[in-house]
Amino acid sequence: MAVGLFIPCYVDQLRPEVGLATLDVLESLGCRPDYPRDQTCCGQPFLTAGLTRESARLARRFVDVFAGYDSVVTPSGSCAATVRRHLASQVDDPRAQALASRTHELCEFIVDVLGVFALAGRFEARIGLHPSCHALRELGLGRPSERMGGGRDDPARLLLGSIEGVSLVAPSRPDECCGFGGVFAIGEPAISCAMGRDRVSAHRTAGAQMIASTDVSCLIHLDGIARHEGAPIRTLHVAEVMAARELG
């Protein structure tokens, strides 16, 4: 299986260690992903801002770069959702729909494509798992609380919960938005920060030592809130937790 590794621009620029952890995890599971160096942004920031012409240019670039791979993996629920839900509507190319269906968030890929449901190793921590809105509600990775029934088990929760020593703690309103929302945090900073403070406080009250998520954007927001509030809580991407587990 030819696997293309898509690293979102904000991971590349702000938290590159998440990209390296993603590579480590995939290689530990027997994959040898290829990282095409001419990849660019998937276009999500432009799309959410209503700049459809600019987002379509990047969408076409994504198709040109990744169409030859059997699967595309990214450590971002929001970027995976952008490709899965919007790529085909932006690009008049027969390759786009098939590519969209082959693009996966990291944990989704591990569970659904590789068929790995549990991870060996040990990582001692009480972790509050923050499901990003895009991963939960656009990719359907979990069971949103606003729906009656349906949904599926969250692959990130399944994998983290299988690691010896990890204790997953549940904050109140466990799938509430952190308040980032891309351009929302810029346009409505007071509301965005208030939502972020609520999330950090809820995780602390639940006893979490760290907050983990499939999206670096959410984690950067929550990390900034925690540091500003002086809260003794770390933020780690799920890939970093999986890569840091001690293997016997």
pLDDT of residue 48: 86
Residue-by-residue pLDDT tens, the chain, 248 positions: 899 999 999 999 999 999 999 999 999 999 999 999 999 999 999 998 899 999 999 999 999 999 999 999 999 999 999 999 999 999 999 999 999 999 999 999 999 999 999 999 999 999 999 999 999 999 999 999 998 887 899 999 999 999 999 999 999 999 999 999 888 888 899 999 999 999 999 999 999 999 999 999 999 999 999 999 999 999 999 999 999 999 86
Could you identify the residue written with the tokens 């799920």? 238
The candidate with the shortest Cα–Cα distance to 1, out of 95, 70, 74, 100, is: 70
pLDDT of residue 148: 83
Could you identify the residue written with the tokens 């599971």? 29
The candidate with the shortest Cα–Cα distance to 125, out of 157, 172, 161, is: 161
Beta strands (DSSP E) in the chain are 3-5, 71-74, 103-105, 122-130, 164-169, 210-213, 234-237
Asked if residue 98 lies in contact with residue 69, where contact means CB atoms within 8 angstroms, the answer is: no
pLDDT of residue 181: 87
> Could you give the CA distance from residue 196 to residue 203 in angstroms, rounded to a whole number?
11
> Could you give the CA distance from residue 245 to residue 248 in angstroms, rounded to a whole number?
10
In this structure, what token pair is assigned to residue 133? 């809105």
Which amino acid is present at 165? G
